[in-house]
Amino acid sequence: MYSIILFVVFLVAGFVLMERSRSTGRINLRRGAMTCFILAPLMLLGTSFVIVKQDSIGQLKRIYLGSSMKTGQIIAFDGENGPQARILGPGFHLIPFVTVIYDTENFPVVQVPQGEYGVLIARDGAPLAPKQFIARGWDTDEFTNMLDAEYFLTHGGQKGPQLSVLKPGTYRINRYLFDIKLYPALNVQAGEVAVIKSNVQEIENCPTAEELAMDEGSQGSGSAISVQLVPKGCIGVWDEPLLPGRYYLNQEAWTPTLIPTRVRTWVYRGGYEKRRIDLTVGDDGKIHQESSTRTILKPPNAADEAIVVTVEGWRIPLDVRVVVQVDPSNAPRVVASVGGLQEVEDRIVTPALRSIVRNVAGAPGRQALDLINKRDVLESLVEKAIFPEGFKAGVSIKEVRFGDPAIPPELLVARQRQQLAGQLESTYEREREAQTKRIAVEKSRATADQQGVLVAAQIAVQVAEQEKEQSRLRGEGEKLRLIEIAKGQKAQTDVLGKDRVYQLAILEKVLAAAVANPDIVKIPSILVQGSGGGFEGPAAILGASNLVQSLGTQTGSGQQPAGQ
């Protein structure tokens, strides 16, 4: 555009200066020559430079003064008309008549972001071989040169999608030659591996199909599923998986299959009607039963519905849980034999598991309650039988566990009633023991509340015992005293005689009475006579007291006391 404008300006200026002079009528050749001499370098300079921005690349397409390209050729070399293999980097470029001979075009540099890779599609180059569907790969050292269009076209670069890819970064690429498509990188997470199915051969001396078949036949007895694995770099499923990491694989050439290596659980649950009979105890102590039914749905994450087994003529749904794991070394066998874990589950493990569980649970002599009472035994039998089935596809079955079987409630009612009756009996016995203990506690509490009275009573009993002992001792003392007195009186009687002793005793009592009651002692005012019994003196002292009368009566004198 700039060259055309300058060319037009140059012509106009020349014509103007070469215009005939009005005064002389002649062409001013000298002035026109001077003008052309001055404007020619300016025109040459204005058509001979290109400026490329820092984040762009300059592409040239030759239009004039070049030779024709060969038939089928897309990219031209120097001297040929058409899109040029040469590209211009950022900055100022001085090329004679570049804006006249070429069309110039700026393209942004190619950006491959992190986590992605770029696939190159070449519009020009050598044709692919008959068995090729993708161009050959380039060595790492040669890859940088391969991005140069001239090097690519002169060193065997092939037309079509390239095997080698662009990793994250910035690239200046001939956009007339290469088209770029971005794809996400392959991320192999922890706990999984990637099995690669290769569509290209990168190494020599890969085994033939006959050699692979012979090798597979010599590896075992044929219990495992027949697979053909190839070394890394050959066409087929590689025998070595890719471990966790990020890989920039051209997925047009290598197809990855991610296989989890963590322990996984496949659950077979739901899809049936579950009946139950509930037992309750009324206020009267009687057992009542009530039946109910509910639908057990298959969970969304379950592998399949529960396995229905037939035992003793009863159809019993049984929940089953299977724990599996794929060893990284067996992952290629899984992919080559079946395709993936989902296919292993659907095509191998699930059908085999259903058949084995039915055979084990429904074996002759088996009882329905064995699914509860002998669960560990049945689990071991199923686990032992299912292990070889998983091994065939490269899956290791770690364990098999049964859930709660949907036993028909009619089989459990009798046992439940018996257990409930036993529990009621035990409860009643414990209640009786509790009542006995409560009575004992109440008695202890009442005893504690009356502790003061009990202590006082115990003290009173002890005091009575002491008084009893004191009275006994006092009586014995009195007895001894009376015995001694009797002995003295007997001795006295033997000396003085009974009458005198009697008189002395009466006198002692009279004197003791006088001492105790002085008012009975009176001055004699009458004459007292007696028969000589010895009471005249005391009678005179006591006067007409009752005591004298009493004494007189006791003596039998028959004489009445005299009045005053």
pLDDT category of residue 246 using cuts at 50, 70 and 90: very high
| pLDDT, tens digit (0-9, with 9 covering 90-100), for 535-554 | 555 555 555 455 444 444 44
Secondary structure class of 150 (helix, strand, coil):
helix
Question: Among 3.30.479.30, 3.40.50.720, 2.40.30.10, 3.30.470.30, what is the CATH number of 264-415?
Answer: 3.30.479.30
CB 320 within 8 A of CB 400: yes
pLDDT category of residue 269 using cuts at 50, 70 and 90: very high
Q: Judging by DSSP bridges, how do beta strands 160-166 and 116-122 pair with one another?
A: antiparallel
Is pLDDT of 54 > 70? yes
Q: Which residues pair with 365 in a beta bridge?
A: none
- CA-based R_g, the chain, Å: 68
Is pLDDT of 2 > 50? no
Tokens of 146: 């391969």
Question: For 33, phi and psi rounded to 5 degrees?
Answer: -65, -40
Q: Which residues contact 412 (CB under 8 A, 6 or more apart)?
A: 277
Amino acid at position 471, single letter: S
The domain locations on the chain are 264-415, 450-496, 497-564
Averaged confidence pLDDT in the chain: 81
Listed residue (506, 544, 507, 553) closest to 522, CA to CA:
544
Is pLDDT of 261 > 90? yes
